[in-house]
Each structure stands twice: as C-alpha cells, then as structure tokens.
Amino acid sequence: MAELILASQSPRRRELLATLGIEFATLAANIDESVLPAEAPRAYVDRLALAKAQAGRKLLAQTQTQDCWVLGADTSVVIDDQILGKPASKDEFQAMMRLLSGRTHQVLTGIALVSNSQCYRDLVTSEVSFMALSEQQMSAYWQSGEPLDKAGGYGIQGLGGVFVTRIAGSYSAVVGLPLHETARLLGQARFSLCQGLLPF
C-alpha cells in the first residue's frame, strides 16, 4: 500500500487524521495563500487544498522514488463573501469578531488527495452561529492568545467554542479536516481504516 503524507503541520489536522487509524507522515507545504483577483471563496479553498497536496508531492519527488498519496487541506471562515484569514493584530481580530458577533457564517474546508496519477477532491461547507459578543469578551479572548493562528480569529475546539450557539454541518471540518469526507477519499484510494470501517 502506498504511503500517506499529510501536507500540513497543523496539530489539529494531525490529531483528526490519526483518529482514522492510518499510519501517515507529515511535511510542511508552504504555498502562497493570497486570494486571486475576483476569486470566489469556494474556488479559493479548493485551489489551496490542491496546491498544498501538489506542493507536498513536489517536495517528496526530490527525496524518494516510491509513489505515495499526499493529503492537502485548507479551511477558511467566510462571511458576506469575505474570507477571514488569521488576524495579524488585535485591531484586525476585533474587526473580525464584530463581523461574526450575533451572526451565522460559513466555514469552508477543501481536501485533496493526490498521487502521481490520480486526484480525489471534496469541499465541505458548515454554518456556524455566534452569540452577540461584548467588547470585553473580545478583548479577553484576544488576551488568551488562541486567536493568533486561527482562520477567522477563533478556534471552535478551544476557548472560542463558548461563542458558538449552533453548528450545521461537519464539526471536524470546522476544526480543520472533515472526517467523513476524508475517510471516503481514502477509501477511493484503497486505504483501509481501523476496525474495517471502509469502504462506505
């Protein structure tokens, strides 16, 4: 069976993928994550997931000849067709929180599984509703340090989860890797999951 590589250094994605019971390695796939002119959020997320997987394959091609599968993923928080990245400052974070406060936004997660000759892709949309936030709550959350490396400025699996009043869709996709869709793609690539859960 071909080896599986996760083209991500995200601890959240590593933990989620590990739950599927498949051995894998990780590598950092550094790509330009800039949004292209007039690029729609869904197209952006799909493109980045594929670009990360392809960047991982290119890195591996320099060090090994054996074919393997590379899994890339990208998650973006979207509201009013605006992609919210990782906040670079407290002011930027507060602007994001004011947009999300008391409203429902979308979390888009794209996944791409590629080998030398094949490619499987999917994109998952989840809706997340926030409570109305006070300026004091926003400031306290910023001081926790959690928002710094999170798309949209919050982590649903951490302290930011207290702001979430409702989620429609895939919780694991909001965290960073949709388990159901990832398992399905791995099944298409002939991987076997723990406890014989595949194929499905």
Whether 187 is in a domain gets the answer yes
Structural domain span for residue 185: 3-195
What pLDDT does 154 receive? 97
Number of domains in the chain: 1
Q: What pLDDT, on a 0 to 100 scale, did the predictor assign at position 3?
A: 87
104: domain CATH number is 3.90.950.10
**Residue 83 located in a structural domain:** yes
Residue 200 within a domain: no
Residue 176 lies in a domain: yes
Domain-embedded: residue 118:
yes
Q: Is residue 24 part of a domain?
A: yes
- Tell me whether residue 74 is one of the annotated catalytic residues: yes
Q: Is residue 137 part of a domain?
A: yes
pTM exceeds 0.95, yes or no:
no
- Check 74, 91, 122, 149 and give the catalytic one: 74
H/E/C letters for each residue in the chain?
A: CCEEEECCCCHHHHHHHHCCCCCCEECCCCCCCCCCCCCCHHHHHHHHHHHHHHHHHHHHHCCCCCCEEEEEEEEEEEECCEEECCCCCHHHHHHHHHHHCCCEEEEEEEEEEECCCCEEEEEEEEEEEECCCCHHHHHHHHHCCHHHHCHHHCCCCCHHHHHEEEEECCHHHHHCCCHHHHHHHHHHCCCCCHHHCCCC
Residue 114 falls within a domain, yes or no? yes
pLDDT by residue for the chain (200 residues), tens digit each? 458 999 998 999 999 999 998 899 999 888 999 999 999 999 999 999 999 999 999 988 777 656 789 999 999 999 999 999 999 999 999 999 999 999 999 999 999 999 988 999 999 999 999 999 999 999 999 999 999 989 999 999 999 999 999 999 999 999 999 999 999 999 899 887 765 665 55
pLDDT given for residue 106 in this prediction: 98
